[in-house]
Structure 1
C-alpha cells in the first residue's frame, strides 16, 4: 500500500494549491492524497436571515460534489471525504484510518485570518496528533519539488518523534540540498566547534545521509527575521521548523517565533514535532 498525505481543505483556490503541492512532494514515492473537508454548518452573523435546517443536507451534498471535482483535478491518486465533526476529532479519525506521512493545509496571507487559522486549526491539529504538518502559503510559488531545503534549529537538544522520523524516505526522494540555520542573538554567546554536531545530531536520522549539511550561522539578529533572512539568502524553497510540543502549543503562541515566521515566510513550511518533554527555547518562544 502506497503512503498517503492527508490534506485539510475547503473549496478555495488556496486549498487546491496546497493539495497540488502535497501531490508534487509525494510523487517520487507514489503517495496518494486524502482530502478531508471538515464540514461545519454555516454560522451567520446577527441580522442575517437564518438558513432553514432542511437546507443543511443540500449544502453538505454540494460541498461533497465540489470536493470530488477537486480530487479529479489533482495530479495524484486522490480520495475525498467530508467529515461533520470538530476539527481535532476529524483529524484524529483521518490519521487512524489513513495513517498518513504528514498533514497539509493552506495558510492565508491576511494576518487576522492567519492568526485565526493558527489558533483554531493549526494548534488543534498539532495538539491532537503530534504529526508533521505542512503549511502552504496562499501567495506562494507554483508547486514544485524542493531543491533547497532550510532547516531551522535552536540552541537546545531535541529528539524527533517517530512520526517525524518516518518522513526520512520522503525527504530523501526529493534529492534536495539541505542547510541548517542556527539564529543566535549577540547575547546568546558562542557555540563550541563541536556544538553544532550535538545540536544537529538528531537531524542525521531524518535527512539523507548523502546530503551535505551546510551551516548558516546568523548571529546578531532576532530569531524570526533571522530565519526569514536565511530563507531569502539561501534561496530555499521549503523551510523546516522544529515544533516542541510544550512551547509551540502553549498559551504564548501569539508571541512565538514560529508564528512570526509563518506570517512572513514566502515558501511552504514543514513543522516537525519533537518528543516531549521539552524545554522552552528561543526559536519557538520569545520572552
Structure 2
C-alpha cells in the first residue's frame, strides 16, 4: 500500500486505532506514505470575521496534529516515522475525496467508539459517512479490541460484487500486505447460487493468495455471517458497499433485534 490516510479527532479512540495499525505496519515490509488528517468546522459568521477565524482554527488544528503525532510516535514506538500532517476545513468526506484526487489513497484508517460498528453505520456517524461516501477502502477499528495482524479475513459477498473488479485487486493487495488467508463467504436464503463464474474470476485475482469459498444457508444474512466469523476464528470482515447502503440493508434487522455481529473485529469496506 503506497498511501495510508489516518483520521483523527484527537480522541483516545482514534489514537488507539492509529497506533495499533502503525505497530502492525512497522512489522511488515512497506514503503507506504502516511498522512494524519484532522478536519475542523468553522462557525457561521461574516466574511471578514470568517477569514480570521479560519486562520486561527487551522493553526490550532496543525498545532494539535503536531502534539498528536508526538503521542502516536511515543505509544507506537516509531520515532522516525514520516507522517504528513494535514488540516482540512468543512466536510470530512469532501476533504478526503479531494486528497484522493491529488494522490490516490490506498487505505483509510479510523477508530470507532464502541464495539458495534454496524450499529453506528445504521444510526449515522462520521464512520458511516466515511464508509458510505469516500471513494477509498476504509479500515474501521473498534476501540474495544486489541488490533493485531489479521491471519484470517472473511469477505462476505452476494456474488454480485463481480462487477467491481478493481476492488478485488485492492482486496488482494491488502490480503498480500497482511499475508493473510481469505475466506470468501456467501449466505443464501433458499437455493444455493451458482458461483462458478464468480469463483473463476476470484481465482484469477487471488492466484497467489490462500483462499477458499463457502456457501451457507441462513434466512438472516447477519446471523449467518456472524456465526461463520466466530466458528472460523476470523480476524477481520471485508465487504463491498454498494449504492443503496448495502450494509444497512444487510444488517438492519439483526441490529435492531440485538443480533448484530457478536464478534468484535475490524471492518474493511470497499465502496463501489
2:104 aligned with 1:99:
yes
Moved more, 197-206 or 265-274: 197-206
- Shift of residue 87, structure 1, vs aligned partner: 0.8
- Provide the TM-score with structure 1 as the length reference: 0.72
Deviations along 1:154-213, one digit per CA (max 9) or x if unpaired, are 14353225365245333213222211111122xx3133xxx2232344433543x13343
Aligned residue for 1:189? 191
Deviations along 1:14-68, one digit per CA (max 9) or x if unpaired, are 212221343325733232321111123589xxxxxxxxx6985675355233333
Partners of 2:72 and 2:117 lie apart in 1 by 29
- Shift of residue 214, structure 1, vs aligned partner: 2.4
Partners of 1:205 and 1:39 lie apart in 2 by 43
Partners of 1:6 and 1:12 lie apart in 2 by 17
- Provide the TM-score with structure 2 as the length reference: 0.76
Aligned residue for 1:284? none
Q: Which runs of 5+ in 2 are unaligned?
A: 45-52
Runs of 4+ in 1 over 4 A off after TM superposition: 53-59, 110-114, 258-265
- Shift of residue 8, structure 1, vs aligned partner: 1.4
TM-aligned CA distance change 1:153 to 1:25, over 3 Å: farther
CA RMSD of aligned residues (A): 3.5
Pick aligned residue for 1:149 from 153, 159, 171? 153
Aligned residue for 1:13? 12
Secondary structure (helix, strand or coil) at the match of 2:163 reads coil
- Shift of residue 221, structure 1, vs aligned partner: 4.5
Q: Which runs of 5+ in 1 are unaligned?
A: 44-52, 275-287
Secondary structure (helix, strand or coil) at the match of 2:29 reads helix
Partners of 1:21 and 1:157 lie apart in 2 by 30
Deviations along 1:116-140, one digit per CA (max 9) or x if unpaired, are 7973424433554422111111112
